[in-house]
Structure 1
Amino acid sequence: MEQLIIHAPHPSLRKVNETIKSIEQGNIVVYPTDSLLAVGCDPLQKKSVIRLCQLKGIDPSKANLTYLCAGITDAAILSKQIGKELFRLIKRNTPGPFTFILTAGKDVPHHFSNKKKTIGIRIPQHYFIEVMLREMGRPLLSISLASTDEEQLLYPDELVSIYRNQIDLWIDDERPQGQPSTIIDCTDWPPEIIREGGHALVW
C-alpha cells in the first residue's frame, strides 16, 4: 500500500494527479472526506467495484453505494429525478456532509445497481477531494471505510491498518475522522432523514 500525505489548504496538483492515475488504473483508494474516512474506486471498472464490495463485505445488489460528485451537474446525470425542489434542497446543503438517496438514472453502471435502483449522492467539502473530482471530470464510487461504530472512533492510521492488504493507495491528511454524514432519502417527496449525522439539514 502506498501512502500520500497531503496538507491544507492547497493540495499539491502532482499528488492530485497521482491519485487520479491510481484510480484510473483500477486501484482501491482510501481518502479523507468532510465526514468519515472513505474508500473508493472507478465505477466504470467492474473488477474494481467487485474488489471494493469484497473489502466491505457487501452485496452490490442490496447496498446503497454512493457517488462522490464535484457538483449537482454530475449528480443530475446519474439521477433524472432532480427537479426544482430537490435541486434547491441539495444546493442549500452542498458541498457538505450529506448523502442524498436518489433513484438511479440510465447512466449508472448496471454492475452495481441494487434491486431498488437507488444510489447515494455526495458532494463533499474537502479541499483535496473537491480538486480531485474537478480534475478527474467524473464521479467516484465511494463508501465509508469504517464498518462499525467502534471503527468510526479509530484514528485513520488504526483504521487503515485493518484493511491495508486490500488497499492500494491511502491519501492521508493527518487529521482524525469526522462524524458520519446525514442521510436523506429523496426517492419520494417530501424527503425523509434516515440517519442524523454531524450536521443538520437546511430545509
Structure 2
Amino acid sequence: MAAELIKLYPENPEIKKIEHIVNVLKNGGIIIYPTDTVYGMGCDIHNQRAVERICQIKGIKPKKHNFSFICYDLSNISEYTRALNTPVFKMMKKALPGPYTFILEANNSVPKILNSNKKTVGIRVPDHAIPRLLVKELGQPILTTSIRDEDDVIEYSTDPELIFEKYQHLVDIVIDGGYGNNVASTVIDCSGEEIEVIREGLGSIEELL
C-alpha cells in the first residue's frame, strides 16, 4: 500500500493531521518528516518492529548504527540520559531548539534496541514545529535518521515530492513541510570528559564553545 503524502505548514500545523500521524506512529508506522536541517525518517522508539523496518530500508544494522532521537525540550532529554554537568547543560540550553545533535550518556530508559552495544545516545530538539508537535502529542521521542540522496552533488534529499516518489512503498507517511535544507545538524559529543565536535553542520560552533 502506498504511503500518504500529508501537507503541513510549519507555522501552523493542523492538529487533526498531527493526531492522525501520531496514531500511525503508535501503530508501528514509519514517517518521513521535515526538521530545521534535513528531512528525517523515524518511528516510535519503543516499537522494535518499526526500528527494524527503518534498518531494512536504509540497509543498516541496529546494533552498529548511531541512531538519534527527537525530543520536545530539555526536560524530555533528562528522561533518557545520565545527569548532565553544568557546562554541558548550559551549552544545550543555549543551543536548543536548534540544528544540533548532542551525544550524551544514555540511561536505562533508552530502549535496548537503540542502546545495544552503545552507552551513548544522540539527542535532537529541532527548531521546527512539526517534529516537536509530533513528539509532544506522542508523549515520547521519535527515533530519527537522515534521508540521504544517492546524488554525487546533493548529499540530502530536499524536495518532499521527490522523497515521496522514492519512499512511497517503503514508509507509511511522508510529511510535506516544504523544501528541506541540505546541510545536516552539527554533532557534538558530550559523553566524555572533553566536549568534542564530531561533525560541523548547520549549527554554529563559535556561538556555543
TM-score (norm 2): 0.90
The whole-number CA distance in structure 2 between the counterparts of 1:70 and 1:129 is 8
- 2:201 is the alignment partner of 1:197: yes
Q: Is the Cα contact below 8 Å between 1:60 and 1:113 reproduced in 2?
A: no
Match of 2:130 in 1: 128
Match of 1:10 in 2: 12
1:65 to 60, 64, 67: 67
The whole-number CA distance in structure 1 between the counterparts of 2:198 and 2:25 is 31
Match of 1:116 in 2: 118
More helix by share: 1
Q: Is the Cα contact below 8 Å between 2:160 and 2:175 reproduced in 1?
A: no
72-81 or 30-39, larger mean C-alpha shift:
72-81
The whole-number CA distance in structure 2 between the counterparts of 1:107 and 1:169 is 27
Q: Encode CA deviations 1:34-80: one digit per residue, 9 max, x unaligned.
A: 00000000111110110011111111111111110001111111111
Q: In structure 2, list runs of 5 or more residues that go unmatched.
A: none
Which runs of at least 4 in structure 1 moved beyond 3 Å after TM superposition? Answer: 147-151
1:91 to 69, 90, 93: 93
Q: How does 1:96-175 map to 2 (within 5 A)?
A: 96-146=98-148, 150-152=154-156, 154-175=158-179
The whole-number CA distance in structure 2 between the counterparts of 1:187 and 1:147 is 30
Q: Is the Cα contact below 8 Å between 2:37 and 2:182 reproduced in 1?
A: yes
SS of the residue corresponding to residue 166 of structure 2 reads helix
Q: Percent identity?
A: 32
TM-score (norm 1): 0.93
SS of the residue corresponding to residue 57 of structure 2 reads helix
AA in 2 matched with 1:111? I
Aligned residue pairs, count: 203
Q: Is the Cα contact below 8 Å between 1:156 and 1:177 reproduced in 2?
A: no
Q: Is the Cα contact below 8 Å between 2:43 and 2:143 reproduced in 1?
A: yes
SS of the residue corresponding to residue 144 of structure 2 reads strand
SS of the residue corresponding to residue 41 of structure 1 reads strand
